Structure 1
Amino acid sequence: MNKFKFYFILTITTLSLFSCSKSDTVADVPLREYATQHETDKTDIEEYLKTYYITVTDHAGFTDDQDVTFTKIPTGGLQPTIYSFLDSATYPKLLSKEVSLHDIKYKLYYLVLREGVGASPCNVDGVLAAYKGDYLARKTVETVTTLSATTFETVKYPQQFLSLFTTITGWGEGFPLFKTGTTSSNTDGTVSFNNFGAGVLFIPSGLAYYNNGAGSIPSYSPLVFSFKLYEIQRLDQDQDGIPSYQEDNGDGFLRVLATGVTNPDDTDKDGIPDFIDIDDDADNFTTKLELKKPDGTYHTFGTVPSCSGQTVKRYLTASCKPPYIN
């Protein structure tokens, strides 16, 4: 099958229907200049960080563990602002990262309540997470304009894994910075989650829905997502038998970049990154076929014993010499 046709089919069939999915957006307002809007969003987010405080529930083994509430500091109030935790040596810890998109660098703030003790997802993995989403907006009442947060969705008991590949960009950039925890079975058949990663993402609209909006979320709205990362699911976007997270260049993030931009995750440099490319080396044989052994099983990734510890991305034999794909 032509790989471009496959890519189109794959993209259509993997779109999700949950609220933070990219597929929910419907453009209905003019497009603003990205850099200008980002400055507006950053101003709103930083005002929120400097005028609100948090209350975190520590209740290990219960569903309200690491629940976080946000309250505006009253005039004269002495509560520590969220911003006061910037680069803190202890938790909670407010950090930020740069995200390159739309030819600008976005500033994504994230608050670490607890890092977690398990594995971190790649930005194309599935996540099982409880979360609450708010959007920020300025409202004017009797000539007085204030910044407020409005809740648009709460999921306390997640029932399905959500693919970070099809959610908003802010989720894909933020969740890999956290880890899962541990699980234990209860006598009533339920599962308890402990020591999971928990935090808050403060997402500029350019990493969310931008001019589209979604459901009750207005266009150009910065978003605040508090979440708990319970479990991850390793996905295989191109269904070649190799989990997508094993097809990245080692930084934990897989990218679909603009035409002409060098992508370290694109082995054959054909413009399609390996995790959605059914023929990574452009030899007209699918990767899945090349990995299949005569007995019907598949070769795996990792260190090849006969190669003196050399690690190859995927290989056809246990030899350090071709044929193998490095």
Structure 2
Amino acid sequence: MKKVYFLLPIITLAFLTIISCKKDDDGVITVPELDRGEEAVNAQLMIETYLETHFYNYEEFVNPPAGFDYAVVIDTLAGENATKTPLMDQVSSKTVSDRFEDNVSYTLYYLSAIEGDGDGASFPDLCTITYEGRALTSNSILSDVDENNDGVVDNNDLKEVYPTNLFDAAVTPVRFDLTQLVDGFQDTMIEFKAATSEAMEQPDGTVTYSEDFGVGVMFIPSGLAYFSSPPPGSGIGSYNQLIFTFKLFQVDVGDQDGDTVYSLLEDVNGNGLEEDDDTDSDGFPNFVDPDDDNDGTLTVDEIVTQDYVVNVTNGESDPVLASNEYEIDREEEENDEGQIIRTITTITLTDTDGDGTPDYLDTDNS
């Protein structure tokens, strides 16, 4: 639900900007919002220029030095670094549709320094990460001008004429709900995996993870970020492209409305978006609606939850689930006899009237 509320101020601000452009008799200078299609082209050119003129510390990832922290460091292709491999030759990309306007799409570039070996992230999941966010400002144009007047065009000059503005960072792992973040962040994170182990608390209170976590960089065009309406005081300008370096440590399955139907399952149309599935048309997408069909019976009361207990030590196998049954949790613990006991929790999406629509989405299921 937070993403719904989060988007409303952005939509409202954009609307007010468009309306205010018609009022120029108050002495207030306003600028019309840019066309999303045209800005998508500008954003791609800008990001691609950045990728062609910058590199990352890939050699350290190939041969990690002692004490390497697996942090991606980006620098310009200049001076002694002029022969490094540019980011453009190392990134992957995917085509992502605009969430607000049909027939507009973006090339979303991302760098996978380490994919990760643990659980993969899905679009409505909760991810524990560290990150650094920079805004690629609109006046970022590559130049060979000696900007600092030191008699040589070098790395420092390129940084000055191709500025990025650090606006946020977290060196201690923080947990984010992907449905609350800008679309480009969500669209990128699903390409990565977490570490194979969960957080391990140390004596000093800090937490550590195994070193097989995902590490990457995302290059988000403004149309998949804040477009014309960045949060006030954020340090992000209108139409800024965003660059996030990050480490993905842990993924937890999202159930934003707590109805025990994982939000991934509430993507009824299967398009990988959580915002556009609203079965009862009440203005609340299914993933944040505790009564998805608005029949007065909560979703949690229209499904069947079941626990299977598996004695791993005795060689018992996991249950074979029905086609409408989904695992939502599993835990293992050692009992008093030293046996490993696995408990698997599932939900069954019952269909009482057999019409092909699960009860929790069916107002007439008797």
Structure-2-length-normalised TM-score? 0.66
Is structure 2 residue 292 aligned with structure 1 residue 280? yes
Partners of 1:181 and 1:196 within 8 A in 2: yes
Q: How far, CA to CA, are the matches of 1:197 and 1:166 in structure 2?
A: 21
3-state SS, counterpart of residue 37 of structure 2: helix
Equivalent in the alignment of 2:121? 121
The 1:11–1:122 alpha-carbon spacing in structure 2 relative to 1, beyond 3 Å, is same
Equivalent in the alignment of 1:89? none
For residue 155 of structure 1, report the CA deviation from its aligned partner: 1.1
Equivalent in the alignment of 2:75? 71
Equivalent in the alignment of 2:22? none
Look up the equivalent residue of 2:251 and give its one-letter code.
I
Q: How far, CA to CA, are the matches of 1:210 and 1:281 in structure 2?
A: 34
Q: How far, CA to CA, are the matches of 1:100 and 1:185 in structure 2?
A: 40
What pairs up with 1:146-295 in 2 under 5 angstroms?
A: 146-158=161-173, 160-183=174-197, 184-193=200-209, 194-214=211-231, 215-248=234-267, 253-257=272-276, 273-291=285-303
Partners of 2:109 and 2:220 within 8 A in 1: yes
The 1:245–1:139 alpha-carbon spacing in structure 2 relative to 1, beyond 3 Å, is closer
The 1:67–1:270 alpha-carbon spacing in structure 2 relative to 1, beyond 3 Å, is same
Partners of 1:136 and 1:221 within 8 A in 2: yes
For residue 100 of structure 1, report the CA deviation from its aligned partner: 1.0
Partners of 2:134 and 2:168 within 8 A in 1: yes
Look up the equivalent residue of 1:53 and give its one-letter code.
F
CA deviation vs aligned residue, 1:245-302 (integer Å, no higher than 9, x gap): 2333596833323xxxxxxx5566877543233333454422112236xxxxx3589x
Equivalent in the alignment of 1:260? none
Q: Percent identity?
A: 29
Q: Given the alignment, which residue of 73, 89, 94 partners 1:84? A: 89
Partners of 2:2 and 2:180 within 8 A in 1: no
Q: How far, CA to CA, are the matches of 2:266 and 2:52 in structure 1?
A: 40
Q: How far, CA to CA, are the matches of 2:146 and 2:238 in structure 1?
A: 23
Partners of 2:195 and 2:250 within 8 A in 1: yes
Look up the equivalent residue of 2:291 and give its one-letter code.
D
Q: How far, CA to CA, are the matches of 2:221 and 2:105 in structure 1?
A: 11
For residue 244 of structure 1, report the CA deviation from its aligned partner: 1.4
The 1:119–1:126 alpha-carbon spacing in structure 2 relative to 1, beyond 3 Å, is same
Look up the equivalent residue of 2:78 and give its one-letter code.
P
Equivalent in the alignment of 1:107? 107
Kindly tell me the number of residue pairs found equivalent between the two proteins: 286
For residue 124 of structure 1, report the CA deviation from its aligned partner: 1.8
CA deviation vs aligned residue, 1:47-101 (integer Å, no higher than 9, x gap): 0000001115545996x5221111111168211111122xxxxxxxx11111111
Q: How far, CA to CA, are the matches of 2:89 and 2:131 in structure 1?
A: 23
Note the residue ranges of structure 1 that are not aligned, 5 or more in a row.
Answer: 1-9, 16-20, 86-93, 258-264, 293-297
Partners of 1:299 and 1:316 within 8 A in 2: no
The 1:216–1:22 alpha-carbon spacing in structure 2 relative to 1, beyond 3 Å, is farther
Larger displacement relative to structure 2 (25-34 or 280-289): 25-34
Kindly name which structure, 1 or 2, has the bigger radius of gyration based on alpha carbons. 2
The 1:69–1:45 alpha-carbon spacing in structure 2 relative to 1, beyond 3 Å, is same
Structure-1-length-normalised TM-score? 0.73
Q: How far, CA to CA, are the matches of 1:196 and 1:170 in structure 2?
A: 20
Q: Given the alignment, which residue of 35, 54, 71 partners 2:56? A: 54
Partners of 2:117 and 2:195 within 8 A in 1: yes
Q: How far, CA to CA, are the matches of 1:202 and 1:12 in structure 2?
A: 21
Equivalent in the alignment of 1:5? none
3-state SS, counterpart of residue 210 of structure 1: coil
Q: How far, CA to CA, are the matches of 2:253 and 2:66 in structure 1?
A: 25
Q: How far, CA to CA, are the matches of 2:66 and 2:10 in structure 1?
A: 34
Look up the equivalent residue of 1:44 and give its one-letter code.
M
The 1:270–1:186 alpha-carbon spacing in structure 2 relative to 1, beyond 3 Å, is closer
3-state SS, counterpart of residue 187 of structure 2: helix
Q: How far, CA to CA, are the matches of 2:222 and 2:69 in structure 1?
A: 29
Equivalent in the alignment of 1:315? 348
Equivalent in the alignment of 1:3? none
The 1:209–1:247 alpha-carbon spacing in structure 2 relative to 1, beyond 3 Å, is same
CA deviation vs aligned residue, 1:5-52 (integer Å, no higher than 9, x gap): xxxxx448985xxxxx99799667632100101111101100000000
For residue 239 of structure 1, report the CA deviation from its aligned partner: 2.4
